[in-house]
Amino acid sequence: NKSWILRQRPVGDLKEGDLELVEAPLEPLKDGEVRTRLIYLSLDPTNRIWMSDVDGYLPPVGIGDAMRGGGLAEVVESKFDGLKPGDIVNTGLATWSLYSNLPGEALNALPRLPGVPLTAYMGPLGATGMTAYFGLMDIAKPKAGETVVVSAAAGAVGSMVGQIAKIQGCRVVGIAGSDEKCRWLTETAGFDAAINYKSENVGAALDEHCPDGIDINFENVGGKIMDQVIARLNDFSRMPLCGLISTYNATEPVPGPYSFSNLLMRRTLLKGFIVIDYFPRFPEGIQQMAQWLMEGKIKFETDIVHGLENAPGSLSRLFEGKNLGKLIVQVSEP
Ligand code: NDP
């Protein structure tokens, strides 16, 4: 087997030597378990959080332990009645390993949907799609005609948030880091407007594109961008706090937001959430997203890199904004 092991806690950006790729014999399979071969590994901003010794929503990965992560895998051997070799499963939280022995009862064989590629289970029908769906629908509860702003808008979560909000009849403004991403948002994903935060004045652009203020801020980034959005929230606005990617590599505490008092004045509902808490409701979210996908109402992109050996080196794509859509490592052939 091949696995990435966490050797030391990264300081700032992940560096060579923080993780090590090791080879080891396969562990024997126990009753009730299946052996899976990883096809697609999901790379997520939270991978960086799990490497740090912080008080997060899950314990940090231990030094010397295999890096936590998961994706789509094929069952290659089964000692569990409900799964057979050839079945494709979403591993949930496993490790950055080619082969894993997993408890069968936690897994389901994924149905193949007509016209929908398998990678949809990493995007709209996977954890990032469920993050967008429940964060928006359950926390923000969008109403037709409202204005929704989403940051990291061309990423895996953000691109879904904006499209779901459009289906709800909202005006949607995305914030992203390149002209190419902004074009994709307006021309392909159907956003009403997109702001390139690297080349535009975000506050002035929000004033232009959100003439009636902002009812929902789906927050993925934090920092200066979040500050500009909070300053423009409407009375009784909602703010699902999904992520703060601009802070994950910080080596010093990050100050702000300076517009914090506006959350009081505008009676904003601010709610942090972690998608794993919605796990029992995933079937409901997946069913709705699958329907929209098959109706052609949801577009999704993947940014695929190849080879398990390239997993750590590719994580920086998320922090440098090189990905459009869901970042995936193809580890083996589907
Ligand atoms: P994305 O596919 O959105 O990739 C991250 C994107 O963030 C990059 O492409 C980049 O795009 C943008 N970005 C990176 N650094 C900065 C920065 N300093 N300032 C502004 N933008 C930046 O990743 P995900 O969709 O997987 O995750 C998006 C957010 O959602 C993250 O904060 C993540 O932690 C969070 N998340 C939370 C979950 C939860 O359960 N609460 C579950 C899943 C994700 P650009 O070119 O636009 O800069």
Task: Provide DSSP, 124-138.
Answer: TTSHHHHHHHHIIII
Q: How many angstroms is it from 124 CA to the middle of ligand 1?
A: 15
151 CA from centroid of ligand 1 (Å): 8
Identify any residues that bridge with 327 across adjacent strands, giving them in sequence order. 303
pLDDT value for 50: 97
Predicted pLDDT of residue 151: 98
* 246 C-beta closer than 6 A to ligand 1: yes
DSSP string of 84-113, one letter each residue: -TT-EEE--SEESBSEEEEEGGG--BPPPP
ipTM greater than 0.90, yes or no? yes
Residue 188, C-beta contacts closer than 8 angstroms, at least 6 positions apart = 299
- Using a 6 Å cutoff on CB, does residue 221 contact ligand 1? yes
Q: Which atom of ligand 1 is nearest to the CA of 153?
A: 47
CA-atom Rg of the chain in angstroms: 20
- 42 Cβ closer than 6 Å to some ligand 1 atom: no
| Cβ partners under 8 Å of residue 127, min gap 6 | 42, 44, 275
Distance 110 CA to ligand 1 centre (A): 26
User: Ligand 1 centroid to 197 CA: how many Å?
Assistant: 14
Q: How far is the CA of 39 from the centre of ligand 1 (A)?
A: 23
Q: 220: Cβ below 6 Å to ligand 1?
A: yes
pLDDT less than 70: residues of the chain: none
CA of 314 to the centre of ligand 1 (A): 14
Query: 253 — phi, psi (to 5°)?
Result: -55, 140
> Which residue ranges form the domains of the chain, and what is each CATH number?
2-121+300-330 (3.90.180.10), 127-276 (3.40.50.720)
Instruction: Say what the pLDDT of residue 118 is.
Output: 96
User: What pLDDT score does 187 carry?
Assistant: 98
Going from the Cα of 246 to the center of ligand 1, the distance in angstroms, rounded, reads 8
Q: According to the model, what pLDDT value does residue 26 have?
A: 97
Element holding 237 (H helix, E strand): strand 233-241
Q: Please name the residue whose Cα sits nearest to atom 33 of ligand 1.
A: 243
Integer Cα distance of 237 and 260 in angstroms: 14
Q: Which two tokens stand for residue 324?
A: 């459009």
From 220, 227, 241, 305, the mutation candidate for ligand 1 (largest count of ligand atoms within 8 A of CB) is 220
- The per-residue pLDDT for range 69-124, each reduced to its tens digit, is 999 999 999 999 999 999 999 999 999 999 999 999 999 999 998 889 999 999 99
